[in-house]
Chain A
Amino acid sequence: MKNRIRVLRAERGWSQAELANTVGVSRNSINSVENGRFDPSLPLAFDIADAFGLRIEEVFIRTPPET
């Protein structure tokens, strides 16, 4: 699953730590999600989208499964 967290953060001038504080998770969590290493649960994905004031599909982009 891809995401636009890095771009959205940059647009707002937020650090990973600031976003992590807003969402209530660790900075490592945001870093891993942002880099696509860790797929967040639905509640966390909604929380991240809410933090940006966007819909979930505007932040996370589903990639087709590998065949």
Chain B
Amino acid sequence: MSKKQDGQTKTRKTALAVAGVTPLVFIGNLWWLKDQPDPVVYALTGLAAAVVLIATLLAAVQGDRQSGEWERAGDRFAHQWGALAGGSFVALLLAVPAVQDAILSLATLVSAGEIDRATAMILFTAGLGSVIITQMIFTVIIGAVWRRKMGQTI
């Protein structure tokens, strides 16, 4: 591995560590944050989100620079099928009565009766988030399977 590649790997690992640790630190300090005035809470939340976004972006750029055509082919395959599989999985989940009950319970929990604007937005965001997260999980799984299968020695 060249010095340049070595440096890129270090930067990527550091960026990933920052992106992983920041939310944990944030969640770990929620007890302190809840007693702070709103402007402080908003400012720190925005700062934490910005740090995670920048670190993730940096890691993605370094990862892309280190990728060869084989890795890119794997990423393309994983994204293509991961998005489809993840989206389909969520659609199937929505047809399960137990999941429908859970969504109803969540709506009742956050709305305290009537569904207002804020509750609708929370539920919509949660739904969108669940689709994105599921697609991401499937992309990671399919990518790992592709790499394992293609990397096998015959």
Contacts and interface: CB of A to CB of B under 8 A. Distances in A.
A29 B69 contact: yes
B29 interface: no
Interface in A26-45: 26, 28-29, 31-33, 35, 37-38, 40-41, 44
Contact of A40 (B1, B69, B149, B150): B69
A26 B70 contact: yes
B125 to A, nearest CB: 38
Interface residues of B, number: 13
B151 A31 contact: yes
Contacts of B153: 31, 35
Interface residues of A, number: 15
B97 interface: no
B85 to A, nearest CB: 22
Interface string B123-154: 00000000000000000000000010111111
A35 B152 contact: yes
A26 B69 contact: no
A26 B71 CA distance: 9
B73 interface: yes
Interface of A: 21, 24-26, 28-29, 31-33, 35, 37-38, 40-41, 44
The 10 closest A-B pairs by CB, nearest first: A29-B70, A25-B68, A28-B151, A35-B154, A32-B150, A37-B150, A29-B68, A41-B69, A26-B68, A31-B151
27 contacts: A24-B68, A25-B68, A25-B69, A26-B68, A26-B70, A26-B71, A28-B70, A28-B71, A28-B147, A28-B150, A28-B151, A29-B69, A29-B70, A29-B71, A31-B151, A31-B153, A32-B150, A33-B70, A35-B152, A35-B153, A37-B150, A37-B152, A38-B73, A38-B150, A40-B69, A41-B69, A44-B68
